[in-house]
Amino acid sequence: MKLAKLRIENFRHLGSSLQPLELDFTDALGRVRDLTLLVGPNTSGKTTILDAIAAALGPTLEMPTLRPGFKQTPRRVVRRGALHATVTCWLRFSPEEIAATRELFQLADISQPVPDAPEVTLTWTYPDPKNESDYGFTRCVPLLGWTLLKGRVQVARLLATGRVDWSWFQRVGGVFTFDQERTGLGKSISRQVWNIIHGTAEAAQHNEELQTTDPRTLLIDMALRSLVPSIAPKDQSPDEFQLIQERYARVCVPRRIVGAVRDELGEFDVYFSDGENSYTYDGLSSGEKKVLLLLIRFVAEYMHQSLVLIDELELNQHQLWQGKLAYLVPRMGEGNQIIATTHAPYVLGGVEPEAVIDLGNLGKVQATGAE
């Protein structure tokens, strides 16, 4: 799934019914760019554009696309003086994604036909003029185009049945949002691995699967599972730890992830090296931690064929890493489209000029916490 064009009307301070804000994410040949950078000063609307995309697509995708700090109420979303905010997205789907979604509907025993529609126009209006949904009203052209946004949620539901495996996440996409704090990370790990890392006492009152947002715990979990892969066919997912090691080394050279080890007290940790010295997760710089949060989410949530929204791509990064991130982030998964905001000139130097949308200053923000 790719976003080719966007129109915003009355969403916070952006656009109006008479003069909507329109953005084009295609190149000179009409192809959707892998990376688009939104550039502009504070209050220019960069974060608000990402919020508009996430709010419009989330209800149909049935995915948690909104950043934690986003408050969806008419007062905070709709431009002052207007009755409704409207966001229109022109979405493109490859023949392979259409075929995969159609097959997923069949595997899920859903009789709803999936149209052969390479482009779907989705229009989201908030609040719902019919007062039927708290999340707004969505209309698609063609009418059944909404089915093409359901592939990823169907994979998640079918995994437990054994009808699909993890490779299906490489065939259908979704929408993922990274806020400035890189929150949103979360993953279940098994009780056995939790006990190895933290001991049995802390897990005594939990269920079989334990949810954690701690990057260090997730890295150790991935490292242990890399060493001892599952023999169950349905659990044959990619080697997540190896993927993170490879991508981290490319962005943060000469730094690299050595692996999970036990210290002299028998406690597990993740060790890193800068080429001369070794250090644990606690010794990472803020920039390294931000890179890891990006990498872990990309890998753990199987981001492929997806639209990925990143606020402040260069956050806490060394100047040399900023350009590398702009180059490597679109390549962290297969077929992803990245739309990111930035202030950094070093990031701009790493991309083609046509991939940059200069917002200038679209007016002062009326909603707290938006840009």
* Tens digits of residue pLDDT in 169-212: 999 999 999 998 888 887 777 777 777 777 655 544 555 567 78
- Residue 233's pLDDT is 56
CA angle 22–44–345, rounded 5-degree value: 100
- The answer to whether 176 touches 309, Cβ cutoff 8 Å, is yes
- Domains of the chain in start order, with CATH, are 1-174+305-371 (3.40.50.300)
User: Residue 67: is its pLDDT beyond 80?
Assistant: yes
Lowest mean pLDDT among 46-55, 74-83, 314-323, 329-338: 314-323
Give residue for tokens 């644990």: 280
C-alpha to C-alpha distance for 260 and 257, rounded to whole angstroms: 9
- The answer to whether 45 touches 15, Cβ cutoff 8 Å, is no
Beta carbons within 8 Å of 200's beta carbon, 6+ residues apart: none
User: Residue 365: is its pLDDT beyond 80?
Assistant: no
- The answer to whether 324 touches 347, Cβ cutoff 8 Å, is no
Beta carbons within 8 Å of 312's beta carbon, 6+ residues apart: 180, 340, 341, 342, 343
Lowest mean pLDDT among 198-202, 245-249, 298-302: 198-202
More confident residue, 4 or 187: 4
The residue-averaged pLDDT of 233-246 equals 77
Spatial CA neighbour of 33 closest among 326, 362, 250, 343 = 326
Beta carbons within 8 Å of 302's beta carbon, 6+ residues apart: 166, 169, 170, 333
Please tell me the pTM assigned to this model: 0.89
- Residue 361's pLDDT is 57
Confidence of residue 236 (pLDDT cuts 50, 70, 90): low
C-alpha to C-alpha distance for 70 and 368, rounded to whole angstroms: 10
Task: Please state, in angstroms and as integers, the Cα–Cα distance from residue 326 to each residue in 48, 301, 302, 339, following that order.
Answer: 21, 20, 20, 11
- Both tokens of 359, joined, read 């917002």
More confident residue, 356 or 189: 356
Strands (E), 274-361: 278-280, 307-310, 337-342, 356-358
The residue-averaged pLDDT of 146-156 equals 97
C-alpha to C-alpha distance for 9 and 21, rounded to whole angstroms: 7
Beta carbons within 8 Å of 99's beta carbon, 6+ residues apart: none
Beta carbons within 8 Å of 125's beta carbon, 6+ residues apart: 84, 85, 86, 136, 137, 138, 139
More confident residue, 98 or 317: 98
- Residue 170's pLDDT is 93
Phi, psi values for residue 297, rounded to 5° = -70, -40
- The answer to whether 63 touches 175, Cβ cutoff 8 Å, is yes
On average, the pLDDT of the chain sits at 88
Confidence of residue 234 (pLDDT cuts 50, 70, 90): low
User: Residue 230: is its pLDDT beyond 70?
Assistant: no
The residue-averaged pLDDT of 12-19 equals 94
